[in-house]
């Protein structure tokens, strides 16, 4: 194995790990930018095009696997976790959430993402019981989809709401942490 091959392999592993960690940290509403969303979600389309022998882009994007880890199916599980604010124990969007979703809509309409479809996953912390959290997270995902469709004109068939409840906590140490109450946009 040449030195170049070893260095390239190490660089790929480091970039893959950094990318996976970055995807686990949700963007607060004031951090949501079109560029950040295109980076998080657009890589899936770049990876899929490369895998199909299609157009290659100039940017380097590590291939993400089924759990957001390096390796696996190209483009699988590319996501953008967002801390979208809701009124406590409801699916009502706060004004700051609507402003963030306006930016999300611009990204979804961009040339890079215009042909992609997405799962809008609602998440909850474990307060309130499993059944309640599944229902609440689904209402939150549906609220985000409804806003994007009604207010921003994103075609409804591009967005699939999914309620995850408290099944995928980002912060296992503090189960009530705000990052466990989030909406995640996943390329499907």
Q: What digits encode the pLDDT tens for the residues 8-49?
A: 343 333 333 333 334 457 888 889 999 989 888 886 555 444
pLDDT at 70: 39
pTM for the whole structure: 0.71
Do 108 and 115 form a contact (C-beta atoms < 8 A)? no
Do 138 and 161 form a contact (C-beta atoms < 8 A)? yes
Between these two residues, 152 and 178, which has the higher pLDDT value?
Answer: 152
Q: How confident is the model at residue 120 (pLDDT cuts 50, 70, 90)?
A: very high
For residues 73 and 77, give the distance between their C-alpha atoms in angstroms, rounded to a whole number.
9
Domain 3-187: what homologous superfamily?
Answer: OmpA-like domain (3.30.1330.60)
pLDDT at 52: 46
Both structure tokens of 35: 């560029």
Q: 89-104 burial, b if ≥16 CB within 10 A, otherwise e? A: eebebeeebeebbebb
Do 180 and 124 form a contact (C-beta atoms < 8 A)? yes
Whole-number CA gyration radius for the chain: 17
Q: Which tens digits make up the pLDDT trace of 45-82?
A: 554 444 444 444 333 333 333 444 433 344 456 888 88
pLDDT at 115: 92
Non-local (6+) Cβ contacts of 114 within 8 A are 108
pLDDT at 46: 53
Annotated domain spans of the chain: 3-187
Between these two residues, 178 and 61, which has the higher pLDDT value?
Answer: 178
Query: Collapsing DSSP states into helix, strand and coil, what is residue 91?
Result: coil
Q: What is the mean pLDDT of residues 104-127?
A: 94
Residue with tokens 């389309």: 45
CB atoms within 10 A of CB 153: 9
pLDDT at 77: 60
Among 64-73, 115-124, 142-151, where is mean pLDDT lowest? 64-73
């Amino acid at each position: 194995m040449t030195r170049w091959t070893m260095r390239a392999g190490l660089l790929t592993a480091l970039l893959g790990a950094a990318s996976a960690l970055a995807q686990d940290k949700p963007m607060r509403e004031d951090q949501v930018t079109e560029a950040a969303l295109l980076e998080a979600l657009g890589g899936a389309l770049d990876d899929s095009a490369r895998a199909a022998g299609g157009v290659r882009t100039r940017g380097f994007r590590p291939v993400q696997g089924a759990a957001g880890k390096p390796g696996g199916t190209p483009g699988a599980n590319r996501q953008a976790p967002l801390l979208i604010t809701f009124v406590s124990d409801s699916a009502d969007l706060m004004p700051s959430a609507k402003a963030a979703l306006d930016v999300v809509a611009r990204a979804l309409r961009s040339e890079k993402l215009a042909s992609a479809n997405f799962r809008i996953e609602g998440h909850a912390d474990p307060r309130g019981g499993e059944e309640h959290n599944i229902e609440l997270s689904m209402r939150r995902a549906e609220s985000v989809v409804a806003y994007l469709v009604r207010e921003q004109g994103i075609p409804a068939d591009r967005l699939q709401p999914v309620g995850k409840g408290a099944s995928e906590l980002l912060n296992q140490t503090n189960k009530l942490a705000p990052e466990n109450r989030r909406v995640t946009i996943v390329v499907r």
